[in-house]
Homo-oligomer: A and B are copies of this chain.
Amino acid sequence: MGKGMVPNLLKAGHQLSIWNRSPEPLEEMKKLGAVVVDTPQQAFDADVVITMLSDDNVTRQIVIDSGALASAKPGLIHLSMATLSAALTIELSELHEKAGVAYIAAPVFGRNNLAAAGTLNIAVAGPQQAIDKVQPLLDMMGQKTWPMGDQPVQAAILKISANMMLGCAIEALGEAMALTQSYGIANESMVDFVTNTLFASPAYKIYGPLISQRTVEQPSFTLRLGLKDCNLALKAGEAHDVPLPFASVLRDNFLQALAAGDGGKDISMLGVHAIKRSGQQ
């Protein structure tokens, strides 16, 4: 994701120090003018640091355990663009406040190609003054910023909820296809209809055809990651006594797909398994 974002920031004339756990992906950006640094600490010695880390564990390791936050430049603004748990986001908010660093959660919606085109959607939450300062950066990376409040967890929960809704759309598509297919309707006809009428939106237009064609050569998002995101919703809900029966069904169905050995396959397989459960191929 960084690969797509960095050029947009450099083009705007910003000075960029970049760090990654494996240095290979940085070569290209180095050529574009970014300065490669050796440690997270060096990256946190700036006016603004943007992090895009894969999950809670990595974030905890890089931001807290490495000492990066503890040695951050005074006045730093930390713009965290990954999908993190509600609990870690709250913990990070508190740790950053203690460290005198402004923490902004700004998870992104869209895939790599949107990042490169600068057309991501970005939810944002955190201290308003800090958001105002980084708004120009957000405008470079995304087509639109969606403010969700002054607590970083609010942007995190929006991202988590939208991902949950995406899982629900895939399951609903799969169940509906299991039903129509059992009455002899081709999946393509069914998908063509729903995605051009009531459900004419990206979520359904992306996943309808993927379920229909059954196999995805290069998964951009695996079932295993889908389960991880589903658990983020369940955990965040549990913290506030929010029952989420649809997410519970998703969780069990993800597990059944994993038990069948499909954990590394594309998340659209969640819908395919809804069809398989009915004894159909």
Contact = CB atoms under 8 A, between A and B. Distances in A.
A180 interface: yes
Given A233-B179, A242-B179, A242-B182, A165 B158 contact: no
Given A201-B199, A201-B200, A178 B242 contact: yes
A98 interface: no
Interface string A139-173: 00000001011010110011011101110110111
A50 interface: no
A164 B149 contact: no
A245 B245 CA distance: 10
A172 B278 CA distance: 22
Contacts of A158: 180, 185, 190, 193
Contact of A278 (B194, B231, B243): B243
Contacts of A177: 161
Interface stretch (A36-44, A66-74, A256-264): A256-264
Interface of A is mostly: helix
A154 B175 contact: no
B244 A179 contact: yes
Given A172-B168, A248-B248, A248-B249, A237 B179 contact: yes
A31 interface: no
Interface in A82-137: 86, 109, 121, 123
Given A166-B198, A172-B165, A198-B202, A252 B256 contact: no
Contact of A277 (B182, B197, B198, B243): B243
Interface residues of A, number: 77
B193 A123 contact: yes
A246 B153 CA distance: 29
A98 to B, nearest CB: 22
B154 A184 contact: yes
Interface in A261-281: 261, 263, 277-280
A247 interface: yes
Contacts of A261: 279
Which 6 A-B pairs rank lowest in CB-CB distance, beginning with the nearest?
Answer: A259-B279, A201-B201, A168-B172, A248-B248, A182-B240, A243-B252
Interface of A: 86, 109, 121, 123, 146, 148-149, 151, 153-154, 157-158, 160-162, 164-166, 168-169, 171-173, 175-180, 182-185, 189-190, 192-194, 197-204, 227, 231, 233-234, 236-238, 240-249, 251-253, 255-256, 258-261, 263, 277-280
16 contacts: A109-B198, A148-B185, A158-B185, A160-B179, A165-B172, A175-B242, A175-B246, A178-B237, A178-B243, A198-B202, A199-B203, A238-B255, A240-B278, A244-B252, A259-B277, A261-B279
